[in-house]
Amino acid sequence: MIGLAIAAMLAAAPVDGPTPKYDLKALIRPEDYPASLVGRRPAGPVSVLLSVGPNGRVSQCSILRSSGASLLDAATCRLLVSRARFDPAHDARGAAVEAGLAATIVWPGPKG
């Protein structure tokens, strides 16, 4: 019984990760910079963990390392969920599966 459970888990485990269709950095533009943060001390990079579904879309975004500005962190996840598209991960049988991808986004300065 245990052998079957392990075999099922291994068959479902991704053998390749999701691959971005576009450079993730290009999805964040200067005009996306939160207006309330303009003129303040610049925030650092935002590290995120994206859950990418079998359809190639981001189903969840979690902050791994904050930029130091919660508005920027929230904007990062909101924009990546709405704009990022991926070739999904695949299991050993070749079926598309949900998988995670870590990324670090460095925001461009605000437009202005």
> pLDDT tens digits, residue range 18-74?
999 999 989 998 889 888 888 876 678 999 999 999 999 999 999 999 999 999 999
Q: Where are the domains of the chain?
A: 2-105
Pick 9 or 55 by higher pLDDT.
55
Q: Which of 10, 32, 15 is nearest to 108 (CA)?
A: 32
pLDDT of residue 111: 63
The whole-angstrom separation of Cα 102 and Cα 104 is 7
The DSSP 8-state label assigned to residue 94 in this structure reads: S
Span 2-105 CATH architecture: 2-Layer Sandwich (3.30)
Round the average pLDDT of the chain to a whole number and report it.
86
